[in-house]
Structure 1
Amino acid sequence: MPESVEPREDEFADGPEEELEDDFDGDLEEDLEEDFEDDSDDDLEEELGDESMSGDQAGMSEAWDEAEEADDPMADLLYEIVTRMGFKDIEIEWEEREDHVRYFVEGADLGALIGRHGSTLEALQYLAGVINSRRGLVEHKIIVDIEGYRERRESRLRRLAQRTANEALREGQEIALEPMSAGDRRVIHLALSTNNSVTTFSEGEEPDRCVIVAPRRDRR
């Protein structure tokens, strides 16, 4: 049984999401997946128009059509979604990276859009991915960030990965990290992908699936 390692108490602290009320607890990504996984495009538009965006279905559908004609349709679509959720005076910027396009949502008082422990951000990420896969707005994988929260978290995860690798080598045994989302596990795997002294793999079932960091038996 691999030893379990928990992040330090302050590992993911200091973001605006820590100040939120309990209203933003819960697995919003899972809720959205249940709502939209088997829906048609029309059903998805109706759900967003009537409930999530507090606007009418026709208005949201029109916004999607306009987004498809924009310079960057995903940026325009994210702007429509976020503003219809009640957040004003926001800006959407984007940056093409090696394996994805990253969209940055910037503005004032966006802690609620991040959600507790990033739950609302992950729901927005999932929703954007669903829409993109169905409408083909952007060719590459898309990643959504809000006020730099995701990049700060990824930086902390990479540091956690390196510390865990060092511990696995020092102890000579497998180390199990705490359960993480698929996106967070991917950051850990990538962070250690060039480390020839350790290997990583995921183990368990959602929502308890976690990353195992283990010394390579054939390392020199």
Structure 2
Amino acid sequence: MFFVKGIKTTPAIQQRVIHKRLWGYELKDRKRTETALKAGEDRAILLGLGMVFSSIMMYFVICITMVRTFADSVLTDETTCIVLNSTLTKDINCSYNCGSDCWRSSEFPCLQVYVSLNATGRIGLLFHNEEMLDVTSECFYVPKCQKDHSVLRVMFQNISEHLKTLQQVTCFHDSSKHQTSILLNHPHSSSAVFHSLFWPSCMCSGGALIILMVKLTQFLSTLCEQIGKAPK
């Protein structure tokens, strides 16, 4: 008969085993924490880069569509105009589509609006927007041609009466007086350009701040590890 003697473990050996197990668990937990932190830092950097890239694309689109148009336009100075006269002067011929290869003639009234600039006192014709300057040189607005001439006349009479009741309107003009026309609406005013560039600037600053904070956190973490490993 054989007797197998068990290995006797001393308290010191048990303590070393427990210490190794605890150290192993601690290393695993530290690795998991470091992996999670690294993944979070990577996501934060990607978020910051995405914000910066998106803001640059927004800058590109805004500069092509809005800022370029604003820079090319001379009627950008905003002021207040006094409505002096708003009358229907004459009927202008136009043509409307009545079907496939079918065009018929109609008319619309020409509304002339004279205003005076509060800033300089200069008197000029008021136009609805800058597109009207390319279409006509005397009418406030050129509508889409319609079959019923009376409908357009009523519409322009209402616009004329509305301008008379306003008396004062916000308008845009050329301070250098190279362009004598005055606009009621400007699609790309200085305030519109400012607000369009403000939000991409905030996005770009936020993205850059996120990247900077992540890099600063990584630098401080590395610095703390170096200080902890330094011999005392």
On whether the aligned pair clears a TM of 0.5, the verdict is no
Greater per-residue helix proportion: 2
Q: Classify the TM-score, shorter chain.
A: under 0.3
TM normalised by structure 1 equals: 0.24
TM normalised by structure 2 equals: 0.23
Larger radius of gyration: 2
Between 1 and 2, higher relative CO (CA 8 Å, sep ≥ 6) is seen in: 2
